[in-house]
Structure 1
Amino acid sequence: MTSKEDEMNIPSMTDKIDLIDAFCAQARILPVITIEREADILPLADALAAGGLTVLEITLRSDLGLHAIGLLREERPHLCVGAGTVLDRTMLAAAEAAGAQFIVSPGCTAELLQAGVESTLPLLPGISSASDIMLGYALGYRRFKLFPAEVCGGTAALKALGGPFNSVRFCPTGGVNPDNLRRYMDVPNVLCVGGSWMLDSAWIASGDWEQITRSSGEALALLDD
């Protein structure tokens, strides 16, 4: 007898954890991108990649999110492109159809967590408490996004959560910036961080792609000191 998951070639939760670990290791810093103009999609991705950021989270906060994911998967196959701000099963399915390689949510519901189990893609669910972690943990999740990280207690919260959840790792997002980046990455249960400081709206509006490349490279350099 084969299960529904086997028939659909759905990876196991262990395999999905390995996929998340791989893209987090590649990313170190995950830029959280909201596309407002179609003309920005490719040059913005190129600017980030030139600075060393090759794993991109395209949020579904704008109507161009799904289109951007599809375009980048077609035109920039060397990049790893995921969908962010996925709120429910319908959005997850749309992101999967668009070609996303991973899914990120700002929070978690029972419906979304179950949809993630059933999806071919790894889901990094957002959490803000130990109770949120336990909801995902019961379904096999071991990788989470702490959001909004600074509001939820920052590095102190991550260290505290490491006690009862010693097999869990996090991607803190929300309030991470160059001033505290290294502090977050030095916490043992942090895989990578998410942020948008390298995506200043004025730089994007003026097409200052060189500044975005420079800011991305400078951020990564902080992790190599």
Structure 2
Amino acid sequence: MSNQHPVYQLMEQVKLLPLYTATDLSCLATLEDILVSNQVPLIEVTFRSQLAAKAIRKLAESGRLTVGAGTVRTLQETEVAVANGAQFIVSPAIVPEVIEYCLSKDIPVFPGTATPGEIQRASSLGIKVVKFFPADIYGGIKAIKALSGPFYDVSFLPTGGIDSSNLLAYLDHPQVIAVGGSFIISEAAIKNDQEKTGQTLAQLVKLVSSSQ
């Protein structure tokens, strides 16, 4: 699959991929409002709750965001996610059947990798953009810089341990397509203080824009 797919282009433009775990569907409208008003029109809804499929469907039907599914570990979860409107799939590891399914349907898929062997395996399966996870534990931007030499034709989507204090170090690297994390927005933050959540995201977007 070419990196010219609209999902890749959107990620490269926005640079931020919010990871969101839904436990209360009533928060989704506010989530959309905050993301859209701050020009972050995409979301990865994780399969870390039983409401994941319902949340994906609700967001997909609304049509305001490009919606993907995260923490996808099985082919069954992939099929459920896609059936409910997911436009891309993110996995914490390499799951060959998930990759094969997605590539056969022209659905962007980001398998989790952390080592040269895993990146090579993903590349051999036809992947050009890998999730680098957990980024902080596996060497962070230093590791990505080292891996980018031999894997000059692979782009990275790092997640794990990234926040406002270090995201620019990642985004400064030409092979980092975007950074992901729940630090961008979360259900807990929305419930605690909607206005502050919007302000925090606005600050992140401004920070990212200042580096481009």
Query: What runs of 5+ residues in structure 2 fail to find an aligned partner?
Result: none
Give the secondary-structure state (helix, strand or coil) at the position aligned to 1:170.
Answer: strand
Q: Kindly state the Cα deviation for residue 50 of structure 1 after the two structures are TM-superposed.
A: 1.8
For 1:96-175, list aligned pairs within 5 A: 96-175=82-161
Give the CA deviation at 1:202. 4.4
Q: Structure 2 CA distance, aligned partners of 1:200 and 1:23?
A: 21
Q: Tell me which structure has the larger Cα radius of gyration.
A: 1
Gaps of 5+ in 1: 1-12
CA contact (8 A) 2:21 2:45 kept: yes
Partner of 2:35: 48
Structure 1 match to 2:204: 219
Shift of 1:138: 1.0
The residue type paired with residue 106 of structure 1 is: P
State the aligned residue count. 209
Within a 5 Å distance, the mapping from 1:1-225 to structure 2 comes to: 13-14=1-2, 17-19=3-5, 20-75=7-62, 77-199=63-185, 202-206=188-192, 208-225=193-210
CA contact (8 A) 1:52 1:216 kept: no
- Counterpart CA distance in 2 for 1:198 and 1:133 is 26
Deviation (angstroms), 1:215: 1.0
> Does structure 1 conserve the Cα–Cα contact (< 8 Å) formed by 2:113 and 2:131?
yes
SS in 2 for 1:83: strand
Note if contact 2:27-2:190 (Cα within 8 Å) is conserved in structure 1. yes
Q: Once superposed, what is the RMSD of the aligned Cα atoms?
A: 1.5
The amino acid across from 1:212 in the alignment is T
Identity %: 36
The answer for the alignment partner of 1:5 in structure 2 is none
Matched letter for residue 102 of structure 2: G
Taking structure 1 as the reference length, the TM-score comes to 0.87
Please report the TM-score for the alignment, with normalisation by the length of structure 2: 0.92
Cα separation, 2, equivalents of 1:186 and 1:217: 20
